[in-house]
Amino acid sequence: MRNNYKGMATPTAVIFTMVSMLITAGYLKYAMSASVSQKYRFEEAKAILMAETGINTEALPVLPKLVDQSVVLAADGVFLDGMGFYRNVVCSTYASLEDGRTIFHARGSGISEFRNTLGRPVRIERMAEMNLVAEDFSKFMYFTNSEEPGGGPQLGSYVSFGGSDILEGVVHTNGQMTMSQFGCPDFTQADISAANGINLNNCNDQNWGSVDDSAEVRVYPPYDATERAKENANYIFTADDMLWRSTGKDTLIMTEIEFVSGGFIVSQWTYLMPPVGESGPPPTTFNWDIDTEIEQLGNESIAFDGPYDSTLQVYFMDTLFIDSEDSDGNDASNTLGMYDIGDTVLVRSADPDSNKGWIGTLNSTDQLSGIFVFGVQSLGQSFSNGFSPGEEITLAFQGGLDNSVPFNNFANYHNHLNDGSSVCQSSGFHHFDFEPTDNLPDILPPTTFFTDFAVIYIKGGQVRVRGTVDGKFSIVTDNFTEYRRHDDISIIDRVWGNIWLMDDIIYEDSNPMTGEIVYGTKNRLGLISGANIIIANTMVNGGKNQANGSDIIINGALLAMNDSFVAHYWQNSINNNSLNGPEFSSPLNSKGDGRGPFRNPTSAFPQVTGNSDIRGQMILWGSVTQDKRGYMKRNAPGPYPVSPGIGYDKDYHYDYNFSDFGPPPMYPTSSSLAGGAILIIKSYGEVDQLTLKEYSE
């Protein structure tokens, strides 16, 4: 039996040896496979790292200055020793379909090469991509380019933050920020930054959210971004169609937009900015003829009967020759036949930039062979050189003022010199209260546009806004429009592209009592004014000391390009003529336009409200960006030495939907002094293999 056991030992040993060898081989195979897998993953990580390096090195310096184009960088590859190389870094921009924002996109390929266990070369390619958006001005609860006051007349030297100011979110100025000596603001929920320092006076910044007194300057105004909004507008309503015509005096157009459920309603009507001249023959344009004989007068032409003296820079003449057809070939006989002896007429270049002109009175009128012959007596002329052959010349009637127009006086509507060359400035008198005749808009009757997304461009005029916003909208205006004054077409003035807030402007799902906005709402509103955003002096906005209404609630992002967000304080009902009315002998010193006591409601006799025209609260849920800081209230001390004063108490709240979910459509983006956009990463990661294959094909 013992010998039999000895005979079985050998095969048993062999079996155990074979099993051990199999286990060992399996382990070695596993170990080698794990090593290869680890190596592969390591090389994959290197490839991804190279792709990211390409984006960071090549794309990020280029993207901020990229506008509507696509570029390929490092097409031949850039090698990094021991790592691999990156190539084909593509930089591009595109507009988001959701809100119109420009998306800055970059993608790049990274390649890692190594040899496998068999010594064969292996190449691994991976792709990474990055999407960024430009910082836009809706990021800021409050932004000013300067803390100097603006928007209306009689500005003080500076505006400070005092005890009534409570702000949250991001607060920034490109200028210097100043705290009041008589009370400190509440900035506990605000991140405060100023490019040119903070004057604390007696205030303490230790309990503010954060403080940066040497912050980066944002370029302002954002002209390029605003032009892109105009170019991409879904709706354009022109308000300058009746200006600078060859016939007829200039007529301005007012636009009003009311937001309603499902869209918005637009109305447009004509108005005249006083002083309004009395009626007479409309202006007519002809071509200048240098011939001084009636027989030589060309078609569609006008001429004097005497030559121009280049030494004295005057025309010696006493007769006007005028063809019966104007420069467009239209019959002008009826218009020319309206002129009478004693009328004052103006003959001037049709070019608004020209100073060439003559004025005189008619002492005779006649017509010979289809040519009108006016005998004239010169009253004055202005020439640095004479009219040129073929130059377009305007013949215009110059009458007195139309006595049927209320407040038809220069000083009621202008607070600049009436010297023929001064014009209305962005900080000064502005006016909205021009109603359509018989309440019937004559350009565009109330028309509803059904949409939940739109950029609306008001070209060449002002716009009045109110209503309930249902969707995503932006309104954009020009900075100013020049026009020829109705009482004297030789004088050019300006109307600024203000946005007037006529009543509450609130999102459909906001709290109607407080204006509080729902977090996550789909609604957005951007008001992008080329000039000011002004809270109009209306009954519902609390005009005449809240006699028939109170407060205004505003939802939206407000941006005043060339001036301020301001209350309409220069139209008020204060019981002091020097504060509610103009200075007729010195319009530059005017504090009021004189019409406040006669409005809200309209009355034939003035109704004043003592030392108070307080209109309630200005409740804002949104964002405010302005070139200068507009007044919400005027009171003592200062040019309006009354108390409690004129205007609103402020109640500001930031709409975090802007920072968390995006701005209104085509809302202006910010940029640095270096000239590029300030970019914020929206998404970043590896491109999947299927997409990589599509890009590679």
Is the pLDDT assigned to residue 505 strictly greater than 90?
Answer: yes
Average pLDDT over residues 635-664: 96
Q: Select from 398, 420, 442 the last residue of a domain.
A: 398
**Residue 261 neighbours by CB distance under 10 Å:** 11
Integer CA distances (angstroms), 551 to 514, 616, 647, in order: 11, 4, 10
Contact 669, 225 (CB under 8 A): yes
For 528, other C-beta atoms within 10 Å of its C-beta total: 30
Q: What is the pLDDT of residue 98?
A: 73
Domain assignment of residue 609, yes or no: yes
Structural domain includes residue 189 = yes
For 391-447, the pLDDT digits (tens) are 999 999 999 999 999 999 999 999 999 999 999 999 999 999 999 999 999 999 999
Token digits of residue 478:
């020009």
Residue 561 is predicted with a pLDDT of: 98
Give domain status of residue 75, yes or no.
yes
Distance of CA 673 to the CA centre of its chain: 20
Look at residue 312 and tell me whether its pLDDT is greater than 60: yes
Q: 466 and 532, same structural domain?
A: yes
636 and 682 housed in the same domain: no
The answer to whether residue 308 is domain-embedded is yes
Residues 89 and 235 in one domain: no
Residue type (1 letter), 432? F
φ, ψ at 342 (rounded to 5°):
100, -15
CA dihedral 294, 298, 301, 305 (to 10 degrees): -30
Q: Are residues 163 and 256 in the same domain?
A: yes
Is 655 found in the same domain as 603? Answer: yes
pLDDT confidence band for 159 (50 / 70 / 90): confident
Q: Do residues 328 and 264 share a domain?
A: no
What confidence category does residue 90 fall into, taking pLDDT thresholds of 50, 70 and 90?
A: very high
pLDDT number for residue 245 = 86
The count of other CB atoms within 10 Å of the CB of residue 549 is 17
Q: Give the model's pLDDT for residue 2.
A: 47
Identify whether 15 is part of a domain: no
Lowest mean pLDDT among 113-127, 143-157, 323-337: 113-127
Q: Which of 346, 380, 398 is the last residue of a domain?
A: 398
| CATH code at position 353 | 2.40.30
Cα gap 580→577, rounded to integer Å: 5
Q: Tell me 44's DSSP state.
A: H
- For residues 572 and 591, is the Cβ–Cβ distance under 8 A? no
Answer whether residue 489 shows pLDDT above 50.
Answer: yes
Bridge partners for 528 per DSSP: 476, 559
Q: What is the pLDDT of residue 692?
A: 60
- The whole-number pLDDT of residue 358 equals 96
Evaluate whether residue 123 is within a structural domain: yes
Q: Is 543 exposed, middle or buried (0-12, 13-18, 19+ CB in 10 A)?
A: buried
Lowest mean pLDDT among 3-12, 193-202, 562-571: 3-12
Cis bond upstream, residue 275 (ω within 30) = yes
- C-alpha 109/C-alpha 85 separation (Å) is 9
Are 539 and 556 contained in the same domain?
Answer: yes
Q: Letter for the amino acid at 10? A: T
Task: Mark whether 438 and 550 lie in a shared domain.
Answer: yes
Q: Looking at residue 95, what is its pLDDT? A: 80
Q: pLDDT tens, 2-49?
A: 455 455 666 666 666 666 666 655 555 554 455 667 878 888 899 999
**Cα–Cα distance for residue pair 298/287, rounded to 1 Å:** 9
In this prediction, residues 192-216 reach a mean pLDDT of 96
Amino acid at 165: D
Q: What percent of the chain has a predicted confidence (pLDDT) above 70?
A: 94
More confident residue, 266 or 65: 266
Structural Rg of the chain based on CA atoms: 36
Q: In this structure, which amino acid lies at residue 627? A: D
CB atoms under 10 Å from CB of 694, counted, come to: 10
pLDDT grade, residue 356 (50/70/90)? very high
Share of the chain above pLDDT 90, in %: 84
Distance CA 277, CA 292 (A): 32
DSSP state of 426: S
Q: Nearest-5° angle of CA 526, CA 532, CA 536?
A: 90
pLDDT over 60 (residue 163): yes
Phi, psi of 639, rounded to the nearest 5 degrees: -65, -20
Domain hosting 534: range is 138-275+406-661
Q: Which residue has the higher pLDDT, 551 or 694?
A: 551
What pLDDT, on a 0 to 100 scale, did the predictor assign at position 558?
A: 98
Query: In this structure, are residues 411 and 584 in contact, taking their beta carbons and an 8 Å threshold?
Result: yes
Query: What whole-number distance in Å separates Cα of residue 476 and Cα of residue 527?
Result: 6
Q: Which residues of 552-564 are buried (b: 16+ CB within 10 A; e: fewer)?
A: bbbbbbbbbbbbb
How many Cβ atoms sit within 10 Å of the Cβ of residue 26?
10
Output the pLDDT for position 24.
Answer: 59
How many other C-beta atoms lie within 10 A of the C-beta of residue 410?
18
Cα distance between residue 369 and residue 378, in whole Å: 25
Judge whether 662 and 472 are in contact, CB under 8 Å: no
Looking at per-residue pLDDT, the higher value among 130 and 1 belongs to 130
| 467, 264 Cβ separation under 8 angstroms | yes
The tens digit of pLDDT for each residue in 225-245 reads 999 999 999 999 999 999 998
Q: Spell out the residues 6+ positions from residue 397 whose beta carbon is closer than 8 angstroms to its own.
A: 280, 281, 282, 283, 338, 339, 343, 344, 345, 346
Q: Which residue has the tokens 């999407």?
A: 131
**Please, which contacts does 515-518 make with residues 24 or more away whose CB atoms are closer than 8 Å?**
515/553, 515/554, 515/555, 515/619, 515/620, 515/621, 515/653, 516/621, 516/653, 517/555, 517/621, 517/622, 517/655, 517/657
Domain assignment of residue 591, yes or no = yes
Render pLDDT for 168-190 as a digit per residue (tens, 0 to 9). 999 999 999 999 998 999 999 99
Indicate the residue among 398, 421, 456 that finishes a domain: 398
Structure tokens at 353: 């930039």
Q: How many domains does the chain have?
A: 3
> 385 and 516: one domain?
no
- What does the pLDDT look like over 313-332, one tens digit per residue? 999 999 999 999 999 999 99
Query: Which residue, among 522, 489, 495, has the nearest Cα to 508 in the 3D structure?
Result: 522
* DSSP string of 219-280, one letter each residue: PSS-HHHHHHHHHT-SEEEES-TTSS-SSS---EEEEEEEEETTEEEEEEEEE-PSSPBPP-
Are residue 49 and residue 113 in the same domain, yes or no? yes
CA distance 186 to 219: 27
Statement to judge: residues 367 and 410 lie in one domain: no
Both 189 and 48 in a single domain? no
In a domain, 28, yes or no: no
Tokens of 511: 């709290």
Locus of tokens 């006989």 = 333
